[in-house]
């Protein structure tokens, strides 16, 4: 059986060559901006309508990154006969990044660093604002591959883990309470740390607002590595400014550069988060690691090789739900 796969992404030649070396003889790989008519599986981070049209043999689209953009979801909804699949390997670097933001926020690393660069020792001799993570309860909103990887790391630190996802229960390989999203407001007072990993959908947009932030136990900390608008922009800023939130680590935002010409001067929000001393800010980059291409190639090749042998493509996305 031959599986005809087209790679739309403009990867470097060495990445494409590495992928070819990992693929079995049953996988026929083509690359480039023009999708071949006999393509059965299209690999693309952002497929367009013209890439899916008039290709009778096409039956699946693989997005080799974490998350599905609203535009991709909209296009896939127009082609219900096609299945959509995602990548899982970035769960580990994203979880490591979330833990980095959590540590930096709860230990107030950046204020201490800024002060000490001015040779100011005052924080050493004042009551510490830092908290001990061991024994604390963390609520992870979005308990899929990324959320569970974060939860596993938090459990290893001695934290109690509450997971929230569409449906309660299910098997988890470490101690955690898993609840449905309908229980969110009853769970927030039990936790002093909220970590958001949710994708942006109609249901998740603005899910965390001023009322939810006030419910968190004190001192309250937030980390967002999902999508910015899951948390109400104004509510988040004002909660940090007025002390409702003690500190936050934020990797995802509300405004992004449109192209390379805007990389050096695009504010991430209409609010001045950069003026707040209790925010750790990151440019939506915590999942970007040097090993990215190697891990991407390995997972993609495994997925395609299995499919070529008659197995179902892995990591299918519920297009209606958006993840």
Closest among 211, 270, 220 to 244, alpha carbons compared: 220
- Judgement on whether residues 187 and 68 belong to the same structural domain of the protein: no
Q: What DSSP string describes 246-304? A: SEEEE---S---SSGGGTTS--SSSS-GGG-TTEEE--S-TT--TTHHHHHHHHHHHHH
122 and 205 fall within a common domain: yes
What phi and psi values does residue 251 have, to the nearest 5 degrees?
-110, -15
The total domain count for the chain is 2
For residue 229, tell me if it sits in a domain: yes
Cα gap 179→182, rounded to integer Å: 8
Same-domain check for residues 66 and 207: no
- Domain membership of residue 318 (yes or no) is no
pLDDT of residue 12: 86
- Predicted confidence at residue 322, as pLDDT, reads 78
312: DSSP letter: P
Residue 321 has a pLDDT of 81
Same domain for 176 and 228, yes or no, is: yes
pLDDT at residue 106, rounded to an integer: 98
185-210: average pLDDT: 96
Residue 315 belongs to some domain of the structure = no
> What local confidence, expressed as pLDDT, does residue 68 receive?
86
Rounded distance between C-alpha atoms, residue 146 and residue 93, angstroms? 9
- pLDDT tens column, 53-107: 878 899 999 998 888 888 899 999 999 999 999 998 899 999 999 999 999 999 9
Can you give the pLDDT at residue 154?
98
Which residues form the domain of 227?
Answer: 91-281
Residues 214 and 177 occupy one common structural domain: yes
Same domain? For 178 and 222 the reply is yes
Query: What is the per-residue pLDDT for 20?
Result: 94
Q: What percent of the chain has pLDDT over 90?
A: 85
**Least-confidence region, from 92-96, 265-269, 304-308, 318-322:** 318-322
Tokens at residue 151, please?
Answer: 């939860």
In degrees and rounded to multiples of 5, residue 198 shows phi and psi of: -70, 145
| The pLDDT of residue 263 | 96
The enclosing H or E element of 305 equals: helix 292-308
Between 172 and 1, the higher pLDDT residue: 172
Q: How far is CA 142 from CA 8, 179, 184, 274, in A?
A: 30, 10, 11, 27
Q: Does the reported pTM lie above 0.85?
A: yes
| pLDDT at position 254 | 98
- Are 248 and 269 in contact by the 8 Å Cβ rule? The answer is no
Report whether 247 contacts 108 (CB < 8 A): yes
Mean pLDDT of 234-244: 98
Please indicate, yes or no, whether residues 122 and 76 belong to a single structural domain of this protein. no
Cis ω on the peptide bond leading into residue 45 (within 30° of 0)? no
From start to end of 171-273, where are the E strands? 177-180, 193-196, 221-224, 247-250
- Together in a domain, 101 and 224: yes
Q: 39 with 162, same domain?
A: no
Query: Above 80 in pLDDT, residue 23?
Result: yes
For residue 1, pLDDT over 80 is answered with no
pLDDT at 29 over 90: yes
pLDDT score at 80: 92
**Does any domain span residue 320?**
no
Find the mean pLDDT for residues 4-23.
91
What is residue 288's predicted lDDT score, i.e. its pLDDT?
92
| 222 vs 66, more confident | 222
Distance of CA 272 to the CA centre of its chain: 23
* Residue 177 and residue 225 in one domain: yes
Q: Give per-residue pLDDT as tens, 141-166.
A: 999 999 999 999 999 999 999 999 98
The top-scoring range by mean pLDDT among 46-55, 76-85, 208-217 is: 208-217
């Amino acid at each position: 059986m031959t599986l005809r796969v087209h790679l739309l992404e403009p990867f470097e030649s060495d990445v494409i060559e590495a992928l070819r070396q990992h693929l079995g003889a049953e996988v026929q790989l083509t690359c480039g901006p023009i999708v071949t008519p006999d393509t059965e599986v299209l690999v693309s981070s952002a497929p367009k309508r013209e890439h899916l049209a008039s290709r009778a043999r096409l039956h699946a689209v693989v997005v080799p990154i974490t998350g599905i953009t609203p535009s991709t979801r909209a296009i896939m909804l127009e082609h219900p006969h096609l299945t959509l699949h995602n990548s899982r390997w970035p769960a580990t670097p994203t979880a490591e990044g979330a833990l980095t933001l959590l540590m930096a926020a709860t230990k107030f690393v950046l204020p201490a660093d800024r002060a000490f660069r001015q040779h100011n020792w005052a924080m050493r001799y004042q009551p510490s604002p830092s908290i001990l993570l061991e024994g604390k309860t963390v609520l992870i909103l979005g308990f899929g591959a990324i959320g569970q990887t974060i939860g596993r790391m938090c459990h290893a630190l001695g934290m109690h883990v509450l997971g929230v996802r569409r449906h309660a229960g299910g098997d988890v390989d470490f101690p955690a309470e898993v609840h449905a999203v309908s229980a969110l407001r009853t769970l927030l007072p039990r936790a002093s740390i909220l970590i958001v990993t949710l994708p942006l959908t109609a249901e998740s947009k603005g899910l965390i607002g001023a009322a939810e932030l006030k419910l968190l136990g004190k001192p309250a900390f937030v980390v967002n590595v999902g999508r910015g608008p899951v948390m109400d922009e104004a509510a988040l800023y004002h909660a940090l400014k007025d002390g409702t939130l003690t500190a936050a680590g934020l990797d995802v935002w509300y405004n992004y550069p449109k192209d390379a010409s805007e990389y050096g001067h695009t504010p991430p929000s209409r609010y001045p988060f950069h003026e707040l001393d209790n925010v750790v800010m990151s440019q939506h980059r915590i999942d970007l690691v040097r090993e990215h291409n190697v891990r991407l190639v390995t997972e993609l090749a495994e997925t395609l090789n299995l499919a070529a042998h008659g197995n179902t493509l892995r990591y299918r996305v519920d297009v209606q739900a958006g993840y």
